[in-house]
Structure 1
């Protein structure tokens, strides 16, 4: 991928087709159509450009790749490779990607874009499947035969063989490799033909040759619903999940031109929420349980759902609501205080916390709710994902969050 066709921006940043970069009007037109088809949720259309919001990830239009990065940094020129590493690590912790070369203490491995990571994962998974041997499955087919085989399809037989009485139009089973699993993987490979970097083009072509004899079908979401899990197709799970991402996020000829579009976008608020949960779940102290997105009835058919609820064996309960945004105050807003108070009452939690990414802020002290003598408290907490340009280890981040509740 050439640098001229690769643009990195940060969330809430503007991108215009003004002649200063590779972003052109045809790219803009494709992005407008794509956003309209998705209820305008991914970014805001502005004069000759777009204003990104809380969605981060990658948009690839034709030969142009736009990578949208998160940023919890007040610097006017934050390091893009560092924040790309932060995003990759969050995706890794949340199991959206499985990569060994992004560790919690080392960001030396450089990726052109996040899409490249997914492409490499996809090709490696399929390559492993080919090496271990692609599985065969039974499938039902209908065709003309010179001998009766399986079940005769009367209507088709009359229509096709009224002259050739020696033939039989039958429905029967075959046992081969040309089945739904491989047809899905093939569709993913064919989409990548015009998207992958030259460095992995050879591997892609070798795999396309392996799948050359399989039917090329128009795969949609209903095909993935037809997959029945069993012992034989367990090794296919990772490859199928990536294929699903590639196929369902691919928009061919969106603006009636040659600008095929592939998107991989994540809501940073939801990603931050899941990231904090997995950090706590995987590194919790002995005697504690961490629950994610607890939901309970609140009023009639309405429900409430705190992000994270922590309980201990000795009866303590804490509630965390995560917020991915930069704030300049260390006092909760009135609306947040009311929301957290409701959580405290419903889950009988003594302490609650609104957890933000840290810039230069310090935690507030626990404030006490004045309600019928109940000892319910709330505070603002801040944690950083970086320390001296390096990713903070999960165990250290978890320990820091638990300390904020005075339990360690």
Structure 2
């Protein structure tokens, strides 16, 4: 186990330097070198390199470098409390299903752990413990062995090669029904990873206990394709949550192959995508509670250009309400604070295209903000400069410290906007 340091918490688009900054928010030379090496692999989008430091981008989440944990938090208002935004990020991840603390095995999970990483580790350990208590699923597998009893089918080529002077043995291929299969190999590999990178002493004993009770498995090379090929049935459906977390941990772990001390684990989320999903689930939750007849779709694409050769290009708004119906409404979310300014021309042009292609009655850009505001305008005719009937609104939604209240506020304000008449 690595020795634990207190996590460094910073906001998106902020910077960390080596030998610069307030105490407790500085990188060591080795930590900076590890981040530089990690970035240099493929040019990671989570941060950019600056002189003797790094500048974070719009990605939020957690980076672990050796024994250092860096939490990158979102920020959309004047509140500069990292503790508050740490809590808000966990709430947003929970709401969109990226951190499912409502699972039966994790209902008592404490949210007062040191870092977001601890929460993911704790949830994974509780899922594996739950599977062990239920009894691990067995599967059939083909095995070959040089046995003293004849079972299965003899492999004559290997039998002659290995047993010329051992006629009491049989080289056979047979079927075994046990717990040694791919699902358990993935879970076991993740437990070994946690043993290596965990910095929380409270979790270390739990990891050790599970490794003692979990049947040892052969090593498995894990790639994205490994998880894509997994299918669940009635017996293995209970493995889905543990495997989902295992996928995040294994595929986002980058070992330090040179010195072996500053491994990097990156669980980072694009804040624009997280905000889009958060608004979507907030609306879906509100519509269901109000029993409204609106239909809600996310990421609905339409093709709008076809080259002479090659693939078509599509447009894909974030949220479409009442798709393919009269009164269709298109929303596009942007994680930025306008601070009273107009949206960028690119964003307004994008909404104009949505208006055309989805035959929408209304379109809107949805931003987080300090205060609630909703202002509408109409596009101008390209020939005469006169007002058209195409309306675009700019909705700024205030950030509220309680996630449930924030979700309710998002739904309420957008529902009120939906019911407003179109400008004349």
Please say whether Structure 1 and Structure 2 have the same fold, judged by a TM-score greater than 0.5. Answer: yes
Once residues 228 and 100 of structure 2 are traced to their aligned partners in structure 1, the CA distance between those partners, rounded to angstroms, is 23
- Equivalence map 1:60-209=2 (5 Å): 60-75=64-79, 78-99=80-101, 109-196=111-198, 197-209=200-212
Tell me whether 1:381 sits opposite 2:395 in the alignment: yes
Tell me whether 1:32 sits opposite 2:33 in the alignment: no
What TM-score, normalized by structure 2, do the two folds share? 0.87
Query: Does 370-379 or 90-99 show the bigger shift?
Result: 370-379
Partner of 1:231: 234
Once residues 90 and 390 of structure 1 are traced to their aligned partners in structure 2, the CA distance between those partners, rounded to angstroms, is 7
Figure out how many residues of one structure are paired with residues of the other and give that number: 399
1:226–1:299 Cα change, 3 Å: closer
CA contact (8 A) 2:372 2:397 kept: no
CA contact (8 A) 1:318 1:349 kept: yes
Once residues 76 and 44 of structure 2 are traced to their aligned partners in structure 1, the CA distance between those partners, rounded to angstroms, is 24
Partner of 1:395: 408
CA contact (8 A) 1:308 1:320 kept: yes
Q: Residue 371 of structure 1: CA displacement? A: 6.9
Once residues 141 and 156 of structure 2 are traced to their aligned partners in structure 1, the CA distance between those partners, rounded to angstroms, is 20
Partner of 1:221: 224
Query: Does 26-35 or 323-332 show the bigger shift?
Result: 323-332
Once residues 88 and 309 of structure 1 are traced to their aligned partners in structure 2, the CA distance between those partners, rounded to angstroms, is 26
Once residues 72 and 220 of structure 2 are traced to their aligned partners in structure 1, the CA distance between those partners, rounded to angstroms, is 32
Partner of 2:274: 271
Deviations 1:235-285 (A, max 9, x none): 111011111111111112244331222110000011111111111122225
What TM-score, normalized by structure 1, do the two folds share? 0.90
Partner of 1:354: 365
Q: Which runs of 4+ in 1 moved over 4 A?
A: 1-4, 371-374
1:359–1:55 Cα change, 3 Å: same
CA contact (8 A) 1:30 1:254 kept: no
1:349–1:254 Cα change, 3 Å: farther
Once residues 215 and 394 of structure 2 are traced to their aligned partners in structure 1, the CA distance between those partners, rounded to angstroms, is 57
Query: Does 139-148 or 180-189 show the bigger shift?
Result: 139-148
Q: Indicate the SS of the match to 2:370.
A: coil
Query: Does 135-144 or 1-10 show the bigger shift?
Result: 1-10
CA RMSD of aligned residues (A): 2.5
Note the residue ranges of structure 1 that are not aligned, 5 or more in a row: 102-107
